[in-house]
Structure 1
Amino acid sequence: MTTTTSEPNANETGRPPAIGGPAQAHPPRGKRRPRTRRQTVGVVVLLLAAAGFLAYSLPPYLGLDPSRARLPVPAGFPAYYPLLVTHIFCGSVALVTGCLQLWPWLRRRHPAVHRWSGRAYFFGGVLPAGVAILGVAPLSFTGVVGQVSNTMLAVLWLPFTIAGYRAARQRRYADHRRWMVRSFALTTSIVLNRVWLVVWIMVLMPRLSTQYGGDMDALVLDAGLVSGWMSWTVNLLVAEWWLQRGGRATRRARRARAVAA
């Protein structure tokens, strides 16, 4: 990856370059503006989606009243509700700060805000939320299928994020970016879970009177199990496709520059 000679490197300034490696040579301003605009629009859409989701999901838990929880609270395990609330609140932090981490304008213009939001994403978001879900998942009312799905999500979410944090500390910014893309794909799975749930309820609805004997609760449970798995597996597959696609584009650009040189 080529760098501009007019910009200092990380060792000279004491500040890390943008995620993905040292600062890249800037394209002409006319070409850069549409891309920056698209990136900003994408981040705004993400933030609006996150705000809408949180406005719907958080209110029942703000009073810390177990009777208002949307998920059944099992008896005989007093730690369940505190762990659930920790997961929900810290997951909300991860969702909002993760959106900020994706904003290239913020990363370039306000690197200190980018770094602090990254620390909030890790220490105040994913780390406590991921640990909490490991305590909640085995007691999920969805049975073994849902329990395994939620546990696998946490088992991947935590190490992906830790790997990204370690890569940033070691100034391996390209690796940091790749791991954090994977981490954020899992962070947003809770939002896509609701989308897949609606899709699968619609898909299964014609079977309500036959396969489910009119039992809507059983239909919603099955739709929830499918959406629970699809929300994080599809997100992760899309993230990997996007990373591989970007890697191929970078390699083609390098070969083109080598030929031109």
Structure 2
Amino acid sequence: MSVVAERPVVAEESRAVRWWRRPWVGPLALVVVVFVAVSVPRYLTLDPAQSLVPPVEGFAPYYPMLVAHVLFGSVAIVSCCFQVWPAFRRRYPVAHRWIGRAYVFAGVLPAAVLATVIGAKSPFGPVARVSNVLLGLVWFGCTLAGWRAGRARRFGDHRKWMVRSFVLTISTVTNRVWGVVAGVVLGPQLETTFGGNEQYMTSTIAGLTTWLGWVVPLILAQLWLDRRPKKRARAAGRSGVPA
């Protein structure tokens, strides 16, 4: 009797996660595809002159490590689009697990380790270096915590840690958005605030964008995670169903 009564609920839950109820999935995938298509090919040439990051003198492994970071990061950013797609997770749980393994072990973890090393050698100044190293450590920690929670079948914790990991992965895109904003605001001040020193202005913009690119999304994600239980409780109260 209880099985029959529960079936409509399951069907309704399935309908609730159809793609058209998550309109952000398509735009997110489009942004990621465009970002990877524009950013990655220049590093596949293995030509340091094509890099968007200036060379670092006195540290020969910097460019090879940067290329490896970009490739591992591309695996992470592409695979995470599937991992945060509710309908995909529900319909293809086996694929979700395998893509999740690729996200963790062929994407985030190696990319985060490399990020801490090359981040410490960033040519954009000490403010950007501190941000890059801290981002790499937090990114690694959140992802590892999410994987361990999933292995322990603590799926609520797994989801929360992976939401944090996701926003840190996407921060490479939000970083570019902040870069455009900072460039528009600070660019006209080159001759005044920065005394005509382009390197000083570039380091200032890099310092701002590296911090804003991951700290702001992480704070917003945490606020969203904190509000979800209250929202579910209110919805349950209105429907008469226990939360």
1:212 aligns with 2:194: yes
1:38 aligns with 2:27: no
Q: 1:254 deviation in Å?
A: 4.6
For 2:227, the aligned partner's letter is: R
1:115 partner SS: helix
Please give the per-residue CA displacement for 1:184-226, whole angstroms capped at 9, x wherever unaligned: 1100001001100010111113322311234444323312210
- Tell me how far apart the structure 2 counterparts of residues 170 and 5 of structure 1 sit (CA, whole Å): 27
Q: 1:123 deviation in Å?
A: 0.6
Tell me which residue corresponds to 1:54: 36
- Tell me how far apart the structure 2 counterparts of residues 82 and 132 of structure 1 sit (CA, whole Å): 10
Aligned residues of 2:149 and 2:158 also touching (Cα < 8 A): yes
Aligned residues of 1:201 and 1:219 also touching (Cα < 8 A): no
Taking the TM superposition and a 5 Å limit, the aligned residue runs for 1:211-230 are: 211-230=193-212
Aligned residues: 242
Tell me which residue corresponds to 1:233: 215
Aligned residues of 1:208 and 1:214 also touching (Cα < 8 A): yes
Q: 1:72 deviation in Å?
A: 1.8
Indicate which of 138, 147, 152 corresponds to 2:120. 138
Q: 1:257 deviation in Å?
A: 6.2
1:70 partner SS: coil
- Tell me how far apart the structure 2 counterparts of residues 24 and 206 of structure 1 sit (CA, whole Å): 60
Aligned residues: CA RMSD: 2.7
Q: Percent identity among equivalent residues?
A: 43
Tell me which residue corresponds to 1:150: 132
Q: 1:256 deviation in Å?
A: 5.2
2:165 partner SS: helix
Q: After alignment, is 125-134 or 106-115 more displaced?
A: 106-115
Aligned residues of 2:146 and 2:162 also touching (Cα < 8 A): yes
Please give the per-residue CA displacement for 1:134-191, whole angstroms capped at 9, x wherever unaligned: 1101110112111000011011000100010011111111110000000011000010
For 1:130, the aligned partner's letter is: A
Tell me which residue corresponds to 1:167: 149
Q: 1:243 deviation in Å?
A: 0.7
Where structure 1 has 5 or more consecutive residues not aligned to the other structure, the ranges are 9-22
Indicate which of 166, 174, 190 corresponds to 1:184. 166
Where structure 2 has 5 or more consecutive residues not aligned to the other structure, the ranges are none
Distance 1:236 1:129, change over 3 A: same
Higher relative contact order (CA 8 A, sep 6+): 1
Q: After alignment, is 41-50 or 171-180 more displaced?
A: 41-50
2:77 partner SS: helix
Q: When you count helix as a share of all residues, which structure comes out higher? A: 2
For 2:141, the aligned partner's letter is: P
Give the TM-score normalised by the residue count of structure 1: 0.84
Indicate which of 82, 107, 123 corresponds to 2:64. 82
- Tell me how far apart the structure 2 counterparts of residues 183 and 195 of structure 1 sit (CA, whole Å): 19
- Tell me how far apart the structure 1 counterparts of residues 95 and 149 of structure 2 sit (CA, whole Å): 19
